[in-house]
Structure 1
C-alpha cells in the first residue's frame, strides 16, 4: 500500500505544479490583456478627437444676416473663415460673434450646444447638455463640454452669469442692427 500513497502524492505534486504554471500563464495573459485594452481605449479616444477636429474644420457654411425675428436679411455676410488657409495650427473654429452672424458658421457640435441652451427654460450646466447633443453621459464627454461652453462665452455666443451655468447671449438680441 505504501507505493499507492506515494504514487498519489507524486500525482498531487505534479498537479500542483501544473496549476501553478497555469496561474503564472494566466497572470501574464491578464497583464497583456490589460495593456491591449488600454491601447484600444487610447485609439478610441484619438479617433473621436480627430473626428471632432475634422468636423469642426469642415463646417464652412457662409454666415447669413438675420434680423431680431430670425428672418434672413439680404445676402450672405463675409464668413469668419473667408480667405483663411485650411491649416490645423491656429485655426479659429469658433469665430467671435458679430452682428448678422448666425450659428451656421459654427461647427456642428457648437451649433447643437447653442440649440440646447436656447431651448432650456433657464441656465444649464455642461452635464445637462451632453446627453441632449447626442453624446454618452461619460465623464470624458462631460469634462470636455465646459471648455466648449467657455469658448462660446469668450466669443460672445453664450453668457455665464453664475459659474458653470450657461444662457444664450443677451447682447445679441439687445443690440440694434446699427450699433457697434
Structure 2
C-alpha cells in the first residue's frame, strides 16, 4: 500500500507540471495577442495614411487641374470632394463657422455625447449626412472628423471613435 505522503507528493508534482505547461501556453497566447494587436494598429495607421495621401493628392489635383467651381476628377473618384477649410476652435466660435457637413458632424457627435454615448464612428456620420453607402464616402466622413479633431472641435479617444471636445 502506498504511503499517503507519497501520493500527495506525486499529486503535487503533477499539479506543478500542469501549472508550468499552462504558464508556457499563456505566454504563447499573450505573444500571439500582442502580435495581432500590432498588426491591427499598423493596419489602422496604413488606412489613415492612405486616406490622408489620397486627400492630399486630391487637393493638389483640385488646385492644379480643376476648372473653376468644379472638383477635379480625382476628388470624385475618392469621394472626398473639395478641401474643407475648418477654422481652429476657440471660445465664442460656434458650429455656424464650420462648413455645413462639418457642422452636422459636430452636432451629431455633441448629441451623442450629451446622451452619454460612447462616441460616433464614420459610418454613422456618413448615414447622418445622407451620403450613399460606400467605403469612399465613409472615408470622407472619417477624414472630415479627423480634421475636426486636428482643429480642436472633436476628440478621438480611440481610433475611429469620435467624441465631443473636452472643455
TM-score (ref. length: structure 1)? 0.45
In our comparison, the structure showing a higher alpha carbon Rg is 1
More strand, by proportion: 1
TM-score (ref. length: structure 2)? 0.48
More helix, by proportion: 2
